[in-house]
Chain A
Amino acid sequence: MATLSSGEPRSISALADASDLSRQAVTKHLKVLEGVGLVSSRRLGRETLYTFRPERLDDASAGLAAISRQWADALGRLKHFVERDPDS
């Protein structure tokens, strides 16, 4: 995050190199950050470049988006739970 906060777009490899994290861990974190709008991504050749979006940091609506997604996940689990056995 500190590396990204300079504002320059970075690839997953560059971010992994600059941290103690594996590429896999960095990818996972970036997906979460992207999910709440804190980073954006674009493809450049074989790489995906990630850019920090600080304007979303204090954005409460992004926090609510995360809550929304938790409910969407929970409703998905409920759906799965009920549809396994819909008539009982």
Chain B
Amino acid sequence: MNTAQSSTDIVVESVDIAAPVARVWRALTDHREFGEWFGVVFATPFRPGETVHGSLTIADFAGLPLEITVREMDAPRRFVFSWHPYAVEPDHDYTKEPQTLIEFTLEPRDTGTRLTVRESGFDALPEARRPTAFRMNTKGWPIQLGNIARHVTSG
């Protein structure tokens, strides 16, 4: 791959949604709607440049703080924020660490909307915070997220 970023720095995922771009945009950028599918309650709306404080509602992480800093809101095509990835240790101070950047891109399709999320910046994280397979597994994220997916789709 001819890219400036290494394969350990970035993840990209896409999904096709049977709904207009404007509807998907709202699900992403309305802080209440974002909270519904992500599993977090935010106190205040998303605005460019602002850091928004939330509280996770995800099973084992319920009550843990989640902060995102909104970087760009270019309606209805591009929504960008940054965060400290996987910041789930209650006693750890993450504030001095670099953040990863999360970029959502919305593209109109005949069938609705192609939504792509790209998270980058993992290479800049301290070694102890790198997402290795072992660490990700032992913390139980995949299991928890599986639980949520089942809960949401059965609801």
Where the two chains meet, the residues of A that have a C-beta atom closer than 8 Å to any C-beta of B are 28, 32-33, 35-38, 56-83, 86-88
Residues in A with CB closer than 8 Å to B133 are 36-38, 56-57, 59, 62-63, 65-66
Residue of A nearest to B113 (CB): A82
Given contacts A56-B133, A60-B8, A62-B133, contact A73 B148 (CB under 8 A): yes
Q: Which of B34-84 contact A (CB under 8 A)?
A: 36-38
Min CB gap A38→B, angstroms: 6
A interface secondary structure, majority: helix
Report how far A35 CA is from B136 CA in the complex, Å: 11
Given contacts A57-B132, A82-B17, contact A36 B142 (CB under 8 A): yes
Min CB gap B119→A, angstroms: 7
Could you list some 29 contacts between A and B, CB below 8 A?
Answer: A32-B142, A35-B142, A36-B133, A38-B133, A38-B134, A58-B132, A58-B134, A60-B8, A60-B122, A62-B132, A62-B133, A65-B133, A68-B13, A71-B11, A71-B119, A73-B145, A73-B148, A74-B37, A74-B145, A75-B15, A77-B38, A78-B37, A81-B27, A81-B33, A81-B37, A81-B152, A82-B23, A82-B24, A86-B18
Report how far A56 CA is from B37 CA in the complex, Å: 31
Report how far A85 CA is from B70 CA in the complex, Å: 26
Min CB gap A29→B, angstroms: 9
